[in-house]
Amino acid sequence: MASGDIKGFYRQKKKHQKGGISKSVSASASKKKKPSKSGGGATLGATDPQTPALFAHGAFDLTDDYGEDEERLRQFDMDMRYGPCIGLTRLQRWERASSMGLHPPADLRNLLTRASGPKSPDLECLWEGRV
């Protein structure tokens, strides 16, 4: 999918845009009030002439462009056993769960500590900057 191109073009990070207008270089990003990952179907205000829908064989790609690691971390955020996720970074929440004896999966911690590069999962929880 050409959405890989668009993702590199926008480079949006949630934590810089807590509900405000972002300072990102891309013009269409500055029109949006809420940060959102690019490449999701027919995004409003997108200046890209070719929407990804044309490349997804006619079906809208409704999943945001994040990897399997991010999906696992989102499941970790939503898991009730480890307590509320808002207000803590994912790593802090993992450390808290670990010290409370809840045995969170150890590989999640590796994902969070090794985070680097454009494909890395977000260090903040799913709702950071959105609520």
Q: At closest approach, how far in Å is the CB of 43 from another protein?
A: 28
Q: At closest approach, how far in Å is the CB of 47 from another protein?
A: 33
CA distance 106 to 41: 34
Terminal alpha carbon distance of the chain = 31
Q: At closest approach, how far in Å is the CB of 104 from another protein?
A: 13
Nearer to another protein, 6 or 85 (CB): 85
Half-sphere exposure of 93 (CA within 13 A, CB side): 24
Let me know: does 77 contact 129? Beta carbons within 8 Å. no
Nearer to another protein, 37 or 96 (CB): 96
- Sequence-distant (≥ 6) Cβ neighbours of residue 37 within 8 angstroms: 7, 12, 64, 65, 66
Q: Which residues bind another protein (CB under 8 A)?
A: 80, 83-84, 86-88, 92, 95-96, 99-100
Nearer to another protein, 9 or 127 (CB): 127
Q: At closest approach, how far in Å is the CB of 112 from another protein?
A: 16
Nearer to another protein, 8 or 87 (CB): 87
Alpha-helix runs per DSSP H in 1-131: 3-10, 27-31, 68-78, 90-99, 106-113
